[in-house]
Amino acid sequence: MKGFVSTIDIRRQNISLHNVTKAWFREFVASTPDLSEYEVFKRKGVHHVPLNQPWVAFRGQIEDPAHHPFPTPSGKIEIYSQKIAGLQDLLIPPIPKYIEAWEDPSDPIRTGTTTGGRSPNHLITTIMLQCSNTRNASNILMNKEGWQKDTARVLRLRWLIVGSVGVTLVINTLQRVSLTVVADRVMAEFELTAVAFGSLAALFFYVYAVVQIPAGIMVDTLGVKRTITLGCLTAGLGSIIFGLAPSLPVAYIGRFLVAFGLGVQWLCMLKLLTEWFRAREFAIMSGFAAAFAQIGALLGATPLAILVVHAGWRVSFELVGLVNLAVAAACWLIVRNRPTDIGLPSLAEIESYESGSSQGLPRPPTSVPGISLMAKLKTMLSNKHSWPPLLVSLGSYAPFSAFASTWGVPYIMQVYGMSREAAANYTLVGTLGFIVGFASIGYISDRLMARRKLPIILMSLASLVVWLVLILWNGGKPPQQFLYPICFFMGASATAVIISFACAKEVNLPTVSGVAMGFTNMGPFIGTALLQPLVGYMLDLGWQGAVVQGARVYPLSAYQSGFMLCLASTLIAIVAGLLTKETRCKNIYL
């Protein structure tokens, strides 16, 4: 409607609601035929519309349907609309049904769940502003100074909140790679073969992948604060159990709890970025968060190896568990789901005020509660373009993860005769390459190339070359002076996984983009969960019976056979990249 003005616009221009509705009413009267003059209409307060006969809806279609068809393909009232079905939009179903809106009676603002019960009333109406608000609301003026203070507080507080969840991502990554520096000790302690140890390591990734969908439900229903706190408590308890484990089954229980608790954290971070950062900042902050999380991989290399040497692997995992419990307490005290929870303006309101218009107010919801998860999954899975990003994420990340988190340190220790600390330095350099790749690949894809498909193919080809060098050069034992750059580029070339998330979002309808990214996020962990025990299986096949301090020692040829599987994984990423739909960095449905 032409005369509609948002409350934010009214406050910004220092005009009352009364004057807005009066101006709108004058325009309405002047543009409507058969209405009296404004002053006459205002005095009478009512306008009678004369009817020559009783009003009957669709009279023409009822009395003469042949000459008055409905504007539908059949000319009749259609219960099922083929035209609407062709839109494939879950918010516009071909058969009419009730879909919960984000401003309906179950909205958190109305129920008070996001405001602590302070604002249980939520009025949605089409009548004039002055009738829809309290008497005092008609004379509200914008308190510019107060607004600016609230905005500044939001922009300061968000870094503390997101930073606290960022710490959980650091611990998440540390736990993900932690077994690589204690591989020989855990294998000796529990008398494990490479296959058995690979299965123990893979358990983390299986559970992590499966928990993604339940994690999304928890974030939507419990909120980030409760979800992240419960996740940290569970992971901390699991790490302590693993450190105290007297047997392999108890160790499995510990790692299961660790993976389950940590599996909710990345989705919590994405949810916070949606609520606490501007829409234009989301992509940049997502990449920054992913890069920041890799600090955990750095800590899980040489620093953890030093701690293991001096304190033992059991005490090390118990300490990590205690840190997790402390972070859980901090998150409970610091994290807030959204600015409105503490009476501050939302980022949608801030964006609207900054832009000088109401276009950014309100921001659409990140999820639509009226659409079932199964409906979203069906729509996403039936889209053939959803599958290549999954395979790209699986094929590009799994080889580096298997090397950095499980088999890299044993390979370097046993093939090059290095100490644990020295071997961990090489996986640390690989993680540095991974961080550099994270920080740059998004910029390269978005700004320099404005493409998705080409960067995926180029990075996957680079990864293929790195693995060929590691497997074939000097019989599978490259000169030690080149081992650092090999590890660095192994990590840097694995970052095609980041582009796969953008592809998943852009090749699906916006209404299912969250499910699509969650589906793609399963790829790296499923791939790692499969690859780790398979590499271990190849190592056991090539084992020649050597044992040192209770742990098996594998020959170079066994590692070559195992790493051939990593090479095959990169080939999967290349083929999937060739099949990826080029979006030119835009959603193909918009």
> SS3 of 337, please?
coil
Rounded to the nearest angstrom, the gap between the alpha carbon of residue 575 and the centroid of all alpha carbons in its chain is 25
Greater confidence (259 vs 15) lies with 259
Collect all residues with Cβ–Cβ distance below 8 Å to 376 and sequence separation of at least 6. 90, 511, 512, 515
Separation between Cα atoms, residue 34 and residue 171, nearest integer Å: 71
Stronger pLDDT, 301 or 268, i.e. the higher one: 268
**pLDDT at residue 36, rounded to an integer:** 67
| pLDDT tens, position by position, 450-483 | 788 999 999 999 999 999 999 999 888 999 999 9
Q: Give the pLDDT confidence of 66-85 residue by residue, as tens digits.
A: 888 888 877 888 777 777 77
Least confident of 120-129, 222-231, 282-291, 296-305: 120-129
Judged against a pLDDT cut of 70, whether residue 20 lies above it is answered with no
Nearest-angstrom CA–CA distance, 12 and 157 = 24
| Averaged pLDDT, 92-114 | 61
The reported pLDDT for the residue numbered 364 is 44
141, pLDDT greater than 50: no
pLDDT tens across 491-519, in order?
Answer: 999 988 888 877 887 888 866 776 777 78
Alpha carbon 13 to chain centroid distance? Answer: 38
Give the model confidence (pLDDT) of 405-432 as tens digits: 788 888 999 999 888 788 888 988 998 8
Let me know: does 200 contact 303? Beta carbons within 8 Å.
Answer: no
Check residue 394 and give its pLDDT: 92
Q: What average pLDDT does this structure show over 89-98?
A: 73
Topology match between the domains 156-349 and 383-590 = yes
pLDDT of 282 = 63
Spatial separation of the C-alpha atoms in residues 319 and 322, rounded to whole Å: 5
Q: Which of 162-176, 191-205, 325-339 has the lowest mean pLDDT?
A: 191-205
pLDDT at 123: 55
Structure tokens at 272: 């916070």
Please give the share of the chain, as a percent, with pLDDT higher than 90. 27
Number of Cβ within 10 Å of residue 540's Cβ equals: 18
Mean pLDDT value across the chain = 79
Q: Are 401 and 492 in contact (CB under 8 A)?
A: no
| Residue among 521, 516, 524 nearest 572 (CA) | 524
Confidence grade of residue 400 (pLDDT, cut at 50, 70, 90): very high
375-400: average pLDDT: 89
Rounded CA-CA distance 120/561 in Å is: 64
Q: How many CB atoms lie within 10 A of CB 156?
A: 9
Residues contacting residue 461 through CB under 8 Å, at least 6 positions apart: 574
In degrees, to the nearest 5, what angle opens at C-alpha 91 toward C-alphas 85 and 95? 45
Q: What pLDDT, on a 0 to 100 scale, did the predictor assign at position 99?
A: 67
pLDDT at 365 over 50: no
Residue 102's pLDDT is 55
Delimit the domains of the chain by residue range. Answer: 1-47, 156-349, 383-590
Q: By percentage, how much of the chain surpasses pLDDT 70?
A: 80
For residues 499, 215, 217 and 327, what is the CA-based torsion angle, rounded to 10 degrees? -110
Confirm if 393 and 375 have CB atoms less than 8 A apart: no
Cα(159)–Cα(166) distance, rounded to whole angstroms?
10
> Cα separation of 224 and 215, whole Å?
10
AA identity, residue 93 = P
Residue 42 CB partners (closer than 8 Å, separation 6+): none
Whole-number Å distance between alpha carbons of 476 and 560: 6
* Confidence at 30, pLDDT banded by 50, 70, 90: confident
| pLDDT average, residue stretch 390-400 | 92
CA-CA distance, 395 to 281, in Å (whole number)? Answer: 29
Res 189 pLDDT > 90: no
pLDDT digits (tens, 9 = 90+) for 272-325: 877 888 756 666 677 778 888 888 877 887 788 889 888 889 999 999 999 999
CB contact at 8 A, 193 and 550: no
- For the segment 33-52, the average pLDDT, to the nearest whole number, is 72
Q: Give the CATH number of domain 156-349; options: 1.20.1250.20, 1.10.3080.10, 3.40.50.970, 3.40.1740.10.
A: 1.20.1250.20
Q: Give the DSSP H or E segment for 548.
A: strand 547-548
Strand, coil or helix: what is 478?
A: coil
Q: Which of 200-209, 323-332, 516-525 has the highest mean pLDDT?
A: 323-332
> Residue 142, class by beta-carbon neighbours within 10 Å (0-12 exposed, 13-18 middle, 19+ buried)?
middle
Crossing angle between the packed helical segments 556-579 and 387-402, to the nearest 10 degrees = 160
pLDDT exceeds cutoff 50 at 132: no
pLDDT at 101: 61
The C-alpha atoms of residue 306 and residue 299 are separated, in whole angstroms, by: 10
pTM, rounded to two decimals: 0.63
User: For the domain with range 383-590, which CATH number is right: 3.40.50.300, 3.40.50.970, 3.40.50.720, 1.20.1250.20?
Assistant: 1.20.1250.20
Q: Is the preceding peptide bond at 108 cis, omega within 30 degrees of 0?
A: no
For residue 579, the model assigns a pLDDT of 95
The average pLDDT across 553-581 equals 93
The tally of CA atoms less than 13 A away on the side-chain side of residue 355 is: 15
Q: Quote the tokens at residue 550.
A: 């209770």
pLDDT at site 288:
79
Supply the pLDDT for residue 15.
41
Give the dihedral of Cα atoms 224, 230, 232, 235; nearest 10 deg: -140
